[in-house]
Amino acid sequence: MTAATTFGDRLPTMTSIRSRRVVLDGELRPATIHVGDGLIVAIDDRPAEHDLGDLIVLPGLVDSHVHVNEPGRSHWEGFATATTAAIAGGTTTVVDMPLNSIPPTTTVAALTAKREAAAGKLSCDVAFWGGIVPGTEPEVPGLVSAGVCGFKVFLVDSGVSEFPPMTVADVARLDPGVPVLVHAEDEALLGLAGPGYDGYLASRPAEAEAAAIVALHRAFGPVHVLHVSSADGVAAVEAGPVTMTGETCPHYLTFVPGDVTGTEFKCAPPIRGPAHREALWEGLKSGTLSMVVSDHSPAPPEMKRGGFSDAWGGIASLELRLPVVWTGAVARGIGPVDLAAWLSQAPATIAGLDDRKGSIAIGKDADLVVFDPDGVTIVEAASLWQRHPVTPYDGMRLRGTVVSTFLRGEQVFAEGDPVEGRGRMLVRK
């Protein structure tokens, strides 16, 4: 990835920083941010050690849907590469999904193994989701006590045998006291994938997403619906008798089937048509969907080869979330305040990390991203910091560049150069 704008001299530790455009208290305004001991200690209008002019200062991004895959499948990604890609993209906190690691994070012992695997490898802060599969319900209280942010469940085949699905009735019996995140598709409405992308798309219709969400509304209280991909899904989240939260992903906001040229675009649920894409943007603007997360789900190149019926279904985009979403947002008259809400505040809130992450406020971690909204990012897959150079964004020209990333007041990315190993492991507040 190449950027048109550079930051200048590196700032190893920042004590104060100023810009005429800081996302603060739901508006974009001039401000000086003062830092001490890694925290924001004051926000005012005094002169600063470093003045950024018109560059936008956003809260460090929080990505609450990332598949790191370590331990067990670190050849797919791994904590070292994933967290370096994160800071290169302005993300200062990721929440790791309970699959596709081996073992999955469905037991306290598995969480311990994951934390041991992550130790010494983190370039951004990392928290963890737990998972629930049939038979692991007794582990839930222990995982909550150990600090997981919540629990993920599937209603359909997850793609890996060690993480089998639950039923809606299973989910309805859960009451962990922390968020329950659901991959919502109705198994009965899924079909066998036919040839090409059209065949794959037909096998996972939008009706399957909506039907699962409706069933969850009827059987359960509030849940968080993962990676909403369709107009039907947005309508179902909004129309139910209980309040749900929902997320979508950059690929659903960007691509349509006509863009799909190979299996690097395969994901589940699939990328749908233009009307679905615009409904997702409208769902974000209305608040029906509250966040945009990457669902970063990489795999070795050999697993993305072949046809759409058997290639691995996952898209790698952890490093690119900000410029991808900004490119689509500008075209729709959406500004940086909304981006901060969708890419920072809401993911921090669902993960229970908003006491320290997700916004620029006194007492919170001094996690900041300096963003040039008029810069140009040209995606070069081979230059991304993720483990494998496979992404559907390869070759795209995106609007905006991540100029610099600060983690607890320390500059951990600038001039295309990351500072690795500064991340910490977090627990839910």
Q: Domain holding 379: CATH number?
A: 2.30.40.10
Please check whether residues 36 and 104 belong to one and the same domain.
no
**Quick check: is 358 in a domain?**
no
281 located within any domain: yes
Q: What are 176-198's pLDDT values in tens digits?
A: 999 999 999 999 999 999 889 99
DSSP class of residue 163 equals S
* pLDDT value at residue 379: 98
**263 within 8 A of 307, measured Cβ to Cβ:** yes
> Does one domain contain both 188 and 46?
no
Single-letter amino acid code for the residue at 378: I
**154 and 53 assigned to the same domain:** no
Q: What is the DSSP letter of 344?
A: I
pLDDT of residue 9: 47
> What is the pTM (predicted TM-score) of this model?
0.96
Q: Structural domain of residue 44, as residue ranges? A: 2-57+364-384+394-418
User: What pLDDT sits at residue 356?
Assistant: 98
* Same domain assignment for residues 231 and 369: no
pLDDT tens for the chain, residues 1 to 429: 433 333 344 555 779 999 999 999 999 999 999 999 999 999 999 999 999 999 999 999 999 999 999 999 999 999 999 999 999 999 999 999 999 999 999 999 999 999 999 999 999 999 999 999 999 999 999 999 999 999 999 999 999 999 999 999 999 999 999 999 999 999 999 999 988 999 999 999 999 999 999 999 988 778 999 999 999 999 999 997 778 999 999 999 999 999 999 999 999 999 999 999 999 999 999 999 999 999 999 999 999 999 999 999 999 999 999 999 999 999 999 999 999 999 999 999 999 999 999 999 999 999 999 999 999 999 999 999 999 999 999 999 999 999 999 999 999 999 899 999 999 999 999
Domain annotation covers residue 389: no
**Distance separating alpha carbons of residues 49 and 44, to the nearest angstrom:** 13
| Cβ-contact 265, 312 below 8 angstroms | no
Rounded CA gap, 84 and 302, in Å? 23
CATH number (domain holding residue 256): 3.20.20.140
Q: Are 180 and 144 in contact (CB under 8 A)?
A: no
Instruction: Copy the structure tokens of residue 406.
Output: 């600060």
For residues 398 and 345, membership in a common domain is answered with: no
Distance, in Å, from the CA atom of 51 to the CA atom of 408, rounded to the nearest integer, reads 18
337 and 298 in one domain?
yes
Q: What three-state secondary structure class fits 36?
A: strand
Does residue 259 sit in the same domain as residue 371? no
pLDDT digits (tens, 9 = 90+) for 127-136: 999 999 999 9
d(C-alpha 91, C-alpha 371), whole Å = 12
> Domain check: are 378 and 233 in the same one?
no
Helix (H) or strand (E) holding 98: none
Judged by phi (left if over 0) then psi (alpha if -120 to 50, else beta), residue 313 lies in beta
Proportion of the chain in helix, strand, coil states, percent, rounded to 5: 30, 25, 45
Q: Is 398 helix (H, G, I), strand (E, B) or coil?
A: strand
333: left (phi over 0), alpha (psi -120 to 50) or beta: left
What is the tally of structural domains in the chain?
2
Residues 6+ apart with CB under 8 A from 361: 40, 43
Nearest-5° angle of CA 423, CA 425, CA 427?
140
pLDDT at residue 84, rounded to an integer: 98
- Whether residue 52 sits in one domain with residue 65: no
Residues 41 and 69 in one domain: no
Q: Please, are residues 363 and 40 in contact by the beta-carbon 8 Å criterion? A: yes
